[in-house]
Amino acid sequence: MTLLMTQLSKLKKYSVIYNAFFKASLVADLEYRLNFVVLVIGEFVWYSTQLILFEVLYRHTNIIGDWNIDQMRVFIFLVLFVDSIYMILWDPSFSAFTDNVRKGTLDLLLMKPINSMFMLSSQRISVSHIPCFFITFAGLFWALGKLPQFDWFKLLWLILLIPAGLSVVFCGRFALNATSIIFTRADFLQYIWYSVFRLGLRPDAIYSGFLRVILIFILPFAMVASIPARILLEPTQAWMIAWALVLPFILFYLLKKYWNFCLKYYTSASS
Amino acid sequence: MKMLFTAFCRRNLALAKLAIVTNLEYRFNFIIDAFIQPILTVGVEVLLWVAIFNTVAKTADATGLIGGFGRDSYLAYAVWAPFLGRIAISWMYEAMMVEEVASGSINTILSRPLSFFEYYLSQTLGYKVITTLFSVTVPIALSLYFKLPIHFDRLFGAFLIVVYYLFLVHTMSFIVSALGFYLTRVRSFTLLKNLSLTLLGGELVPIDLMPKALADLLLTLPFTAGVYVPLAYITGRGGSELLMQGFISTTWGLAVAGTVAYILWNRGIREYTGTGA
């Protein structure tokens, strides 16, 4: 009972802090309104390019991998939906990570009396991605509506699958950022991330053999959207559900170990 | 006159060297930038095109062609497009230019006997030269290994147009940073501009695959000179007339962008109050 109360108290504390972070980010983003509007337009352009690529490709072929255009639209909207959640919650903080290491401002964040991983991942929220969240969510429903005889109850699986996909993105990006502690200046780790993340932006059917196994089990970017899309579009496979259940626990366990390992290398850059 | 020109050349060479030394200082960063990132990007794109052509081979199209071109032609596109796309875009130096204006640290450049445009142009070119020299080995090696239809004798012409296009890219970066005099926070303009260039330049989707009217329109714009035109030239999709068209469109693009940049900069600098120390 006492343990439960302690956990609830912690949850409340973190909710209050997160609320404060959100308000601060909202004020900061809306301070320069034209910049904010252009940012929103820029995000729409980026999301549109992903859609346009496949719309153009399907003008010349009926099937890519295992899917036709209607099925591919479900995949694309799903990947963009997960991406928008990630961008809202964590991307601004992760993008500032290497600068914090290089300039020494990481000291200040590590000294706060809260979980360091929470502090480093959630300090800033991207308000400009919120419109994309709603648009991609609506797009997902639109794409599903175009499928003949879609079982809408299957959407309940997303309650499990989307957090699993987000855990892959969160842990992957955090681990890569943590590596910058070892190398001090590692700005280009971010570009590696964008390249690796591209693996998840494509359906797993384009990968074959060992590479596909890697993308499902070792660098599990298939969990971001490919596996959720397969569960929605194809007969449910038990191993996929089981993997989605287990994966976040494995990833967070490994991430915590790796984070502690990297922190041992941290030498403050500030005075 | 001759002394002025010599001083100009020496100054710009020194700035280009500065960019090269700065980028080589952190070797791990450089290796990732020059090798790892292009390899990963090319790998994903190649796999996508292999999957598309595997499907085409299994299904209706007996010719095995898409938009009039075969598997190897698209693999060549997938191998070279990300490489050219990375040369023909400016993220890092544009961000630095924007930051200089926003933070007021531009004062230190304005008080020197060189222009802000020149200072960053030479650095951008230096950076592009050093990363290109190393990372070009990736598409060349892949083209040779997979025997892709690349006209290696046309590489010089292709690089020439990309370098020329870089002047346009830099002028656009200059416009974005000059907007900082009026709007203070303009980082989002970089994002919007660069994403638009990726789409309009043909890096993401080959222009041949787009609807004809749209493809024709895009080819008249200067933005295809960064990726599609040099790529079409080295893969044999287009000849010297396409390359010439690219040079012409880039020239009028430069004229328009140069005029806009000139107006924005001159008005902005008049209104600017330096706040840096």
Chosen for mutation from A40, A45, A193, A197 (greatest number of chain B CBs closer than 10 Å) is A45
Model-wide pTM > 0.90: no
The predicted-structure confidence for A6-63, as pLDDT tens digits, reads as follows 888 889 999 999 999 999 999 988 888 888 999 999 989 889 988 888 888 888 888 8
Count how many Cα atoms sit within 13 Å of the Cα of residue B252 in the half-sphere of its side chain.
8
Number of other residues whose CB lies within 10 A of the CB of residue A17: 17
Q: What is the pLDDT of residues A156-195, one digit of tens each?
A: 999 999 999 999 999 999 998 888 888 766 667 777 787 7
> In chain A, positions 197-226, which contact chain B (CB-CB < 8 Å)?
198-199, 202, 205-207, 211
Q: What is the pLDDT of residues A79-93, one digit of tens each?
A: 999 999 999 999 999
Counting other chains too, the contacts that A136-142 makes at CB distance below 8 Å and 24 or more residues apart are A136/A47, A136/A77, A136/A80, A136/A81, A136/A83, A136/A84, A137/A81, A139/A73, A139/A77, A139/A80, A139/A81, A140/A74, A140/A77, A140/A78, A140/A81, A142/A77
What CA–CA distance (Å, rounded) separates A101 from A95?
Answer: 11
User: Sorting pLDDT into bands at 50, 70 and 90, what band is B155?
Assistant: very high
Question: What percent of chain A clears pLDDT 70, i.e. is strictly above it?
Answer: 97
Confidence of residue B69 (pLDDT cuts 50, 70, 90): confident
**Cross-chain Cβ contact A205/B51 below 8 Å:** yes
| Percentage, residues of chain B above pLDDT 90 | 29
Test A61 with B195 for CB contact under 8 angstroms.
no
Answer whether residue B266 shows pLDDT above 80. yes
User: pLDDT of B2-55, one tens digit each?
Assistant: 767 777 777 778 877 887 787 777 777 778 777 888 888 888 888 878 877 877
Q: In angstroms, rounded to a whole number, what is the distance separating the alpha carbons of residues A72 and B39?
A: 26
Distance between terminal CA atoms of chain A?
45
The answer to whether A203 and A75 are in contact (CB under 8 A) is yes
ipTM over 0.85: no
Predicted local distance difference test score (pLDDT) of residue A244:
94
- Strand extents, DSSP E, chain A: none
B119 touches chain A (CB under 8 A): no
Does the pLDDT at position B268 exceed 60?
yes
**pLDDT of A138:** 96
* Largest CA-CA distance found in chain A, in angstroms, rounded: 64
**In this predicted structure, what is the pLDDT of residue B184?**
73
Q: For residues B203 and B200, what is the distance between their CA atoms, to the nearest angstrom?
A: 8
Q: Please write the tens of the pLDDT for every residue from B114-129.
A: 888 988 888 888 888 8
Segment B77-122, tens digit of pLDDT: 889 998 888 888 888 888 888 888 888 888 888 888 788 898 888 8
Q: What share of chain A is helix, strand, coil (3-state, %, to 5)?
A: 80, 0, 20
The answer, yes or no, to whether residue B62 has pLDDT greater than 60, is no
* Integer Cα distance of B76 and B87 in angstroms: 17
Name the minimum distance, in Å, from the CA of B31 to any CA of chain A: 9
Q: Using one digit for the tens of pLDDT, what is the confidence trace for A122-164?
A: 999 999 899 999 999 999 999 999 998 888 999 999 999 999 9
Q: Quote the DSSP letter at residue B66.
A: B
How confident is the model at residue A203, as a pLDDT? 86
Tell me the pLDDT of chain B averaged across its residues: 85
A&B contacts, CB < 8 Å: 112
Q: B186 vs A46: CB contact, 8 Å cut-off?
A: no
The residue whose two tokens read 């196994």 is A213
* A115 contact partners, CB below 8 Å, separation of at least 6: A14
Read off the pLDDT of each residue in A203-221 and give the average, rounded to a whole number. Answer: 84
Please report the pLDDT score of residue A174 as a whole number.
93
Closest CB to A39 among B44, B48, B191 = B191
